[in-house]
Structure 1
């Protein structure tokens, strides 16, 4: 009897001690219920650990755990997002980084066979201020060897980079909408760095116009619009090319909001005399 009692007491103590153990953060993440994201027209499915998602996004955490129908059914449909953007978010929450793959198309067969000459960098103060990045809350350091800017060296002057820029902008918009601050800062830093390194030409100016249209033709964060408007104001400079201003004319007529933003930055240039 005494022996059985002893074993019973020992078991009770062990059970009590086990109940007091705290589950480590990685265990809590990887043992949490997966939550499904159904993305885009193709209905691509992503299964992400719910605790990890909630730890990175308060908005998504409320969606998962706050009694909404999505939380009860265990999935959410994101019809307006694309799989590449959500894949970047998924990679980021697990690794703290994201990479985007691209298969860059050439602008067209005629251009691909020509020798293209890039325009020089702007020499005005607005360009120097843009590259400095302080006005855009550029927090993480993104070096010239960052994987996100390597594609700029892989293509030629005839390569279409519009989707490259827009992809980083989409990641920023997604992160802004769901309050993923670290991903916002990283995607903004990468887009900013890419714009600083991008060498303009008569063939490449269309890539910038496509980015501006993406940012202004839908509701989006002012921080992103400020970035592209500031860049545009800096490169509209006769020292770059007489063709730059003409390239922007149609877009300025189409988008009064972009015209107003760029006018503000141009006025700042006039005030500083550059």
Structure 2
């Protein structure tokens, strides 16, 4: 039994070496596809390509685990969207984030329904002169009002295709001005260095929001879930990329009071699915702690945010209070 297991481990290592060689020579696609089932959805990815990026997943494919014998793996606890983005990344070198939801469409539909219901009730009680009781008066849709804020153009950003309206000369002059603690925290967040994004500019750039009607919850959570997936399966490059992509999105995001729920949902997921930061390592929690530091004035207006700090049991509240001390 011992020799058999040892042989399996040797074959697993050999297969991993072969997959690395195949990848360099462009023959990775000659490896057989391996089947992954995530939340009922089946994904097929070339085995050598998966093995090249993740040791834990490689052991499922080439090791002595039950998945190797069956020829497929069921990832019961993983997120389908995160795995789909992992698959996109291994083939393309980048992934597509979640989508922005336009909540103005929901509100306009709801408002129109209320207006129509009100008009119908009025006609049923007392039809207007010249109209039949069953005749409907069309209600014109009002075009959505553009919401403009200086906050939309206030801060610089060096991510993706998004460029700052300020010149480098203006930036240098502003740095010479004494900054408030909040501005210092924000500047520190904005200027956070990137590694993977700087080396690879492929993929769609993040887009800034223009209105409080734009819901970015799915955008933020797509990066956070992929980060958690990459950490679990030891895909370090993807983990860093997901962190940097989330940072890039938050760096150009205007936190309207109506949209604090987007951040609350993100914090709730992150603090429920990640461990506490060790030795000041740059991770998902430290990134969001710094973000809370300069946006705490707006976040504290949200009752759900305050409840989350209490319900979280300490870590979130502790991180928040560290930022409070920096602001003081």
- TM interval, short-chain normalised: 0.7 to 0.9
1:215 equivalent among 233, 248, 270: 270
5+ residue gaps in structure 1? Answer: 1-21, 238-242
1:15-30 matched pairs, under 5 angstroms: 25-26=24-25, 28-30=27-29
**Do the aligned partners of 2:99 and 2:216 also contact (CA within 8 Å) in 1?**
no
Match of 1:169 in 2: 224
Matched residue, 2:188 = 129
How far apart are 1:81 and its partner, in Å? 2.3
Residue 293 (structure 2) aligns with:
233
TM-score where L is the length of structure 1: 0.76
Quote the Cα distance in structure 2 between the aligned partners of 1:50 and 1:191. Answer: 29
Whole-Å Cα distance in 1 between the matches of residues 60 and 285 of structure 2? Answer: 28
1:180-222 Cα distance to aligned partner (Å, 9 max, x none): 1111111111100100100011111111111111111234574
SS at match of 1:192: helix
Report SS of the residue matched to 2:301: helix
Instruction: Within 5 Å, give how 1:1-274 maps onto structure 2.
Output: 25-26=24-25, 28-40=27-39, 43-102=40-99, 104-106=101-103, 108-109=106-107, 116=147, 120=151, 124-134=183-193, 138-141=194-197, 147-150=204-207, 152-153=208-209, 156-220=211-275, 222=277, 223-237=283-297, 243-247=298-302, 248-255=305-312, 256-270=314-328
Contact 1:64 1:70 in 2 (8 A): yes
**Residues 162, 210 of structure 1: 8 Å contact kept:** yes
Post-superposition offset of 1:77: 0.8
Contact 1:60 1:178 in 2 (8 A): yes
Cα 1:114–1:23 change in 2 (3 A) is closer
Q: How many residues align?
A: 237
Taking structure 2 as the reference length, the TM-score comes to 0.64
| Equivalent residues of 2:100, 2:216 under 8 A apart | no
